[in-house]
Amino acid sequence: MKMHRGRIAAAALFLGCAAASAYAQGSATDEIARYRAMLADGNPAELVVARGEELWKTRRGAKNVSLEQCDFGLGAGVLKGAYAQMPRYFADADQVMDFESRLVWCMVNLQGMDRAAVTKNPYSGAGQRQTDLEALTAYGVEMSRGIPVNVPQSHPKERAAYDRGRYAFYMRGGPYDFSCATCHGVTGQRIRLQDLPNIAGNKPDADRAFTTWPAYRVSQGALRTMQWRLNDCFRQQRFPDLVFLSPTSVDLITFLGVNANGAKMDAPAIKR
C-alpha cells in the first residue's frame, strides 16, 4: 500500500472520528478497494457492449455495410485483440489512429456515413442513451479483454506520436498551470479520498490507466471511453476543450498505451 502523509489526519477529520488510531493509514483505501470489489460482478457496461455488438454487425450508412470488414491493424475483419495494439499507424490514412479514430474512419469510409454527423456528439449526456460510438467502442475493447497491450513503436510516425504525447503530458498550462503530471506524475497524491495514480512513473499505475478504460463510470451513470477520459481531464485542468479525435488526443493515448505495454486489457471496467 502506498504511504500517504497526512492521510490519518485527513481521514479522521473527514470521518469525524476522534480516535484517529481507529482509522489507521490505508484503512479508507482498503474500504474503497472493498467497495470496488463488491461492484466487480454485474458491470452495467455489459448492457452497452451488447448493444455495441448489435450495431457492429448491422448494415448501416449510405453504403449499407456493417463494420465487420473494418481493418484495425490486424487485417480486415479482425477485431479480436485490435484495441490492445492501438494507437498505431495506418498506411491507408497515413496517420496514427487510436481505436475511436479508426472506428470513425471505418464508419465514414466503409459505411459511407458523414464524418461531421458521426462525431458531432460523441458522448451521451445525463439521462441520455449511450451514443453509438460509446457502444461500438465498448464492444471493441471487450474483444481485447485479457490480451496484452502491444502498442507499436516501429513506424516513425508512431514514435513521433509518443514523443508528442509525452511532451503534452508534461506541458503546463491553463489558469492553474497544471500539466497531466501535476496530478498523475507524482506518487502518493490524493484528491479528497481519491488516490491519484502516478501513471508516468509507476508501472502498475500506468498499466491500470490504460487497461481499465473504457469503463462504466458509476458517477456518470454511463460507459465512458479513453477519449472522454482525456477530455474530462482537460476540463478539470481548466484547459481548452480537447477536441474529439484530435492529434493531441491520439498522441496522449499513444503515450499512455506504450507505457502500459505488456499489461492485459481489462475493459470495460467499472469505476466510481
Strand residue runs (E) in the chain: 88-90, 95-97, 189-191, 194-196, 215-217, 222-224, 269-271
Residue 2 CB, shortest distance to other proteins, in Å, is: 15
DSSP string covering 175-240 = TTTB-HHHHHSSTTEEETTEEE--TTT-HHHHHHHHHT-SEEETTTTEEE-HHHHHHHHHHHTTPP
Selecting among 17, 70, 180, 233, the annotated active-site residue is 233
Nearer to other proteins, 120 or 235 (CB): 235
70: left (phi over 0), alpha (psi -120 to 50) or beta: beta
List of residues contacting other proteins (CB under 8 A) = 14-15, 28, 31-32, 34-36, 38-39, 41-44, 46-47, 50-51, 126-127, 190-194, 196, 218-221, 232, 236, 272
Enter the C-alpha cell of residue 4.
500517504
- Does the active-site annotation cover 17? no
Rounded to an integer, what distance in angstroms lies between the CA atom of residue 176 and that of residue 107?
38
Nearer to other proteins, 43 or 254 (CB): 43
Residue 254 CB, shortest distance to other proteins, in Å, is: 24
Nearer to other proteins, 108 or 193 (CB): 193
245: left (phi over 0), alpha (psi -120 to 50) or beta: left
Residue 264: beta bridge partners?
A: 148
Residue 158 CB, shortest distance to other proteins, in Å, is: 31
Residue 116 CB, shortest distance to other proteins, in Å, is: 23
What is the longest distance spanned by two Cα atoms in the chain? 68
Nearer to other proteins, 77 or 221 (CB): 221
Nearer to other proteins, 101 or 198 (CB): 198
At 272, which amino acid appears?
R
Residue 245 CB, shortest distance to other proteins, in Å, is: 22
Q: Which residues are catalytic?
A: 233
